Structure 1
Amino acid sequence: MQIPTKFVTSSLANSISSLNSVAMGDKKADLILKNCTLLSVYTKEIIPKIQIAIVKDRIAYVGPDAVHTIGPKTIVIDIKEKYVSPGFADPHLHIDQFVLPSELAKKSLLCGVTSLFSDPIDIVSVSGYKGFQEFLKLGEDLPIRIFQVVPGGLPVDRKFSHGKSLSLSQEKLAIKHPNVLGLGEVFSWTKVTLRDSKTMQSLYSMLEKDCVINGHTAGASEKKLNAYVASGILSCHEPINFEQVLERLRLGMWIMIREGSIRRDLKEIISCVMSNGINLDRLMFCSDGLDPLDIVKYGHIDHCVRESIKLGLHPIDAISMASKNCFDYYNMSKDLGGIAPGKLADILIFDDLNSIKPNKVFVGGKLVVSNGHFVTSIKKKIIPPWIKKTVKLKELSPKDFVIKSKKNTVFANTILMQTEIITKLGSVELVSKDGSVHASFDKDVWKVAAFDRIRGTNKHSIGFLENFGADIGALASTWSFHENDMIVIGSNDSDMSIAANTLIKNQGGLVVIKSGKIIASLPLQLAGIVSTDSFENVLSNFEQINKSIVDSGCKFSRPHLIPLFLPFLALPSARITSGGIVDVKRRSYVNPIQ
């Protein structure tokens, strides 16, 4: 496949004459990096005193002496024997979260990540094919390479899901775009093993066009896993231990070891991989998505490389997993993944192999990071007004959060929080006053509501949530996996309506209310899931959201994840959507009152 022309000034096919001429010295290079200590991902050697000649955006020569490529206009940079490696890649993450791609690019490049492979599932859930097209534009013409896939997980469950998805004809149109590489994680693997008609047609269309299909095999094993792999899905980022990694590797899968804001699986897996002498060629690192706080605290793929080296992995093996292996998987190895003639000049320079913090980053031969600072400019994108108007709800009142009952006491079915993500069905006795069932601070029982904010149907459901533990009035969010309902958690109907109306007015975000007042807010203006503010503002607001809830006594350290996962139908056991409370295992709705 060709690298998209909007990222670069050349394709390999169009560059062979100039690259050949510079390598021979018949023409002169634009840039020379001399006195490099090359970390070769091809031979696992550390090679001193190497010179790299670059013409336009590609490497023409790698060897001991590039003097024959130097002309009067050639820029020569003395690397002073520092280490040089290919740029890192994150082979699977969701960048339709928190900040615009342009803001994420700045932080990722500081970490040496020069390529991102994005699965924009929530943009599609909110705004369909039209939103997918707009999001592609937001990822173009940036000093980082952003590749996209068609979301492969929508709808999560046709019986209950109501988010938008792409039709088969739209999927076929999407993969014609040079930035779109194939199908994103097919995480409802039962659709594959049960040969769901639409899913199988999607797989067929992708394979027919020689596209990559990413996997999600949590909970699958033996014959089900075999059927999944036999259907052309050859990667997975879900293994959480070595046994799961090994089973998938033995079936020819590629493994993306996840180290991100939702899960961190690297430490256990890498240690076992090394102790068992497993071939590393099909192993990669991925984040699956990073929140602003984690990017600042840990970094990105550079963190994975650092941690693996600390655990005893050879530095070049760690760098290969962060670069070469990713591009091998995506069938892009002729263009990216190493430092060699013909490759795009995505190059990192390190002072040492312990910190793994690049002091210089080149993308396509252009310097974008120097001495820990972002040194290039990004042109601001125009965002169409319609994608900022996706909270299609009228003003709500406290009456919209009432659960009626004529009895004095009732037994309620609850969504019992075990972690921020994992739930189960619970049961509790609650008091009913004036025909309305109330939440209970003493029993740590809250109301939870889900509103369809995408289609303007006014459809909503109300239930009870248990084991939240925060002394606040309400927490509301328009960002949720992958229905993107507006979720409102509250101790009283008044604060719940204030929280909801704040997000309706702001057209998206997260907000915390106490005694009728806003105590923390994170605006998410684009489709209700991405902020158009600077990374620094988003970081500050995000920290305040969690801090305000945790400081008020919440039992969980990352409370923003609770409304995010409450509608996620791919996880057991109890979820809520605008259609009602769902028992995921039984695939049935549950009444809030027994």
Structure 2
Amino acid sequence: MNQPSLCALIDASEGVVKADRVIRGGQLVNVCTGEIYPADVAITGDRIAATGDVSGYEGPDTEIVDATGKYLTPGLIDGHLHLECSKLSVTMFADAAVRYGTTSVVSGLDQFLVVAGLEGVREALREAEASPMKIFWGAPFKTPYTLPETTVGFSFGPDEHAETQGWVDCFGVWETVAEFVLNRDEKVLRALELAHRNRLPIFGCAPMAATTTINALSAAGVRLDHESYSAEEALEKLRAGMSLLIRESSVAHFMNENVRTVTEFGAQSRRVGFCTDDMHVADILREGHLDKLVRMAIKAGVRPVEAIQMATLNCAEMYRIDHLVGSITPGRYADVLIVDSPESFQVERVFARGRLVARDGRTVEAPQAPERSAVLSPAFQVAPVTEGTIGVAAEGDEARVLVVEMDRTVPFVRKGVEMTLPVVDGTVRADLAQDALYVTVSERYGKNGGCTVTAMINGFGLRSGAIASSAAPDDNNIVCVGADRADMALAVNHLAEQGGGQVVVDGGEIKEFLPLPVAGIVADLTPEEMADAEDRLEAAARALGCELPSAFGYLIFLEITAIPEYAVTDLGVVNYHTQDVVDILRPTAN
């Protein structure tokens, strides 16, 4: 990030250089002290120059912004975000988020990384510099995240950490999955040791963690975690010395559960922040972004000033970026929200880097995406898929099969159930009566022959057709679920030919298609255009019979091996507990 000289910051904060603009007449929510009091704010360039009585900072060319009767808060910080999962490019996601007051996000840009490597990350960071939203980048602890390792376009290890931890854009180690620490993974431990030497914070990922796991992570230096499935788990992490990020995403709704650490268990709120992790754009436009989380926390019983601290200074402090963002204080970026009141927290105007960027839920300038280089447009190298490609080989007339089962009560979690399924022409077939469908993963990088593997899945409820996506963390191979093998082949081949996207196919016809031409995972659509496309895709999936809260929201995470109990990757079905590929054919009872 661009840094002004110390002399320039001192000149601005002493009033030697007059302010470019002054926000006058508002009540300042001081997140450093927890106070609310009348104060004006002087802004010079992209930084806060002074607060309070700033009349001495005004010059003949200073713009005066009237905030009479309103409240001033810092810009909001999303503490853990895979912005690529929005399917929007950096520019377009920024357009969606800043209108609701989110001016900074912490991200590993890991999906760009696994597809396009370090140059892809650099392009994304340059794009953010030209947007009203800052990205504080954490170098992913490794890629691929999967155990065992799946096929990705770019692998990231200790050598890459030795380079990138020295970048001025690197603010820590991102998403350190607990299993790699528990396994004493040599490469991961080397990356963490580098971070300790470089005094960089380590960000964790430990869903449903046992006490011994929490202890081990804290001992390894993991500073914070965003993956608590219960308030008790969240409290245990706080007690072990970690900071807590409460996640409220489009699919994983944990605010009301985990905020109990503060409202019921009495934990100090100053080590608690917020994150969204993954958001559907349609949900942002309907409900807001981080501002929604502030309102939810207040409704749950958190004092308004504390809720605002959680969305600003708390997050900045746990990531050690509070010298740059998180408060309206001299030298920090001039990210200032004008809101109606702390209690209702409706964002009316948004200043980012000192400029007015949004008013009344709309950005003041239309977003302009940059020209895309070939780095972010790699060709898909999937071997052509036919109906005969899809299937699990078996003998006899029926087979006992381990079927991956979606848990409809706990987001993302997949269990396993054994089902007896028909075998026709030596291949296990779907059984719609049992909701046993095909699921495939097609390797897109050509490193593993562009092959397609097949398993069986329960819970999607499709009565016909297929749905598929090339945006699928953690490796962004093409994942497809379907009731009909021919429709699945059409879906996978269409995505490969078009350079990525999401698609719904039925009866040999493309019913809905969302192109994702940037790295095969995001698009330069406006938020409104993306929301419309998401709604059409979900409606088309429901027309096929899917009753999950979000067909594509659940589909894209099937490849993540860090979520219990089973995942499906280009290697096959992976057992979370044993961390190996399992044979899904089971012995048939005599």
TM interval, shorter chain, is over 0.9
Shift of 1:514: 0.8
The alignment of Structure 1 onto Structure 2 pairs a total of residues equal to: 581
C-alpha distance in structure 1 between counterparts of 2:360 and 2:419, whole Å? 58
- CA change 1:327–1:403 in 2 (3 A) is closer
- Name 1:441's counterpart in structure 2: 432
- Name 2:55's counterpart in structure 1: 67
Q: TM-score, normalised by structure 2?
A: 0.93
Amino acid at match of 1:422: V
Shift of 1:523: 1.6
- CA change 1:414–1:350 in 2 (3 A) is same
> Structure 2 unaligned runs (5+)?
none
Q: Which stretch shows the higher mean deviation, 426-435 or 301-310?
A: 426-435
Q: 1:444-459, aligned counterparts within 5 Å?
A: 444-456=435-447, 457-459=449-451
Conserved? CA contact 1:582–1:588, under 8 Å = yes
C-alpha distance in structure 1 between counterparts of 2:118 and 2:188, whole Å? 17
Superimposed CA distance per residue, residues 433-469 of structure 1 (whole angstroms, 9 cap, x where no aligned partner): 3444322223322222211112352232112223321
Secondary structure in structure 2 of the residue aligned to 1:528: coil
Secondary structure in structure 1 of the residue aligned to 2:269: coil
- Name 1:306's counterpart in structure 2: 295
- CA change 1:495–1:157 in 2 (3 A) is closer
- CA change 1:38–1:404 in 2 (3 A) is closer
Superimposed CA distance per residue, residues 539-580 of structure 1 (whole angstroms, 9 cap, x where no aligned partner): 111111111222332231211133312222112323222222
- Name 1:47's counterpart in structure 2: 37
Superimposed CA distance per residue, residues 31-85 of structure 1 (whole angstroms, 9 cap, x where no aligned partner): 122111111112222212x22222222222222x333222211212221131111
Percent of matched pairs sharing the same residue = 28
Conserved? CA contact 1:510–1:522, under 8 Å = yes
Q: Pick from 567, 577, 590: which aligns with 1:575? A: 567
Shift of 1:416: 2.5
Shift of 1:305: 0.9
Superimposed CA distance per residue, residues 192-214 of structure 1 (whole angstroms, 9 cap, x where no aligned partner): 13322111100011111111210
Conserved? CA contact 1:28–1:70, under 8 Å = yes
C-alpha distance in structure 2 between counterparts of 1:581 and 1:266, whole Å? 31
- CA change 1:395–1:336 in 2 (3 A) is same
> Aligned pair 1:236/2:225, yes or no?
yes
- Name 1:93's counterpart in structure 2: 81
Amino acid at match of 1:170: E
Q: Pick from 216, 220, 229: which aligns with 1:227? A: 216
- Name 2:465's counterpart in structure 1: 473
Superimposed CA distance per residue, residues 387-440 of structure 1 (whole angstroms, 9 cap, x where no aligned partner): 323421143222212444452333333222333622223233333334443222
C-alpha distance in structure 2 between counterparts of 1:340 and 1:421, whole Å? 40
Shift of 1:380: 2.5
Q: Which stretch shows the higher mean deviation, 546-555 or 291-300?
A: 546-555
- Name 1:19's counterpart in structure 2: 12
C-alpha distance in structure 1 between counterparts of 2:567 and 2:11, whole Å? 58
> Aligned pair 1:33/2:23, yes or no?
yes
Shift of 1:250: 1.7
Q: Pick from 62, 79, 82: which aligns with 2:70? A: 82
- CA change 1:250–1:443 in 2 (3 A) is closer
Conserved? CA contact 1:57–1:345, under 8 Å = yes
C-alpha distance in structure 2 between counterparts of 1:469 and 1:439, whole Å? 12
Superimposed CA distance per residue, residues 347-399 of structure 1 (whole angstroms, 9 cap, x where no aligned partner): 11112234322211111221111233211354431211343234211432222
> Structure 1 unaligned runs (5+)?
none
C-alpha distance in structure 2 between counterparts of 1:271 and 1:584, whole Å? 29
Q: Pick from 165, 189, 213: which aligns with 2:155? A: 165
> Aligned pair 1:590/2:590, yes or no?
no
C-alpha distance in structure 1 between counterparts of 2:562 and 2:467, whole Å? 23
Shift of 1:251: 1.9
Amino acid at match of 1:177: W
Conserved? CA contact 2:120–2:375, under 8 Å = no
- CA change 1:95–1:399 in 2 (3 A) is same
- CA change 1:580–1:320 in 2 (3 A) is same
Q: Which stretch shows the higher mean deviation, 127-136 or 527-536?
A: 127-136
Q: Pick from 413, 418, 437: which aligns with 1:422? A: 413
Secondary structure in structure 2 of the residue aligned to 1:62: strand
C-alpha distance in structure 2 between counterparts of 1:408 and 1:241, whole Å? 44
Q: Pick from 486, 494, 500: which aligns with 2:486? A: 494
Q: TM-score, normalised by structure 1?
A: 0.92
Q: Pick from 312, 317, 325: which aligns with 2:306? A: 317
RMSD after superposition:
2.1
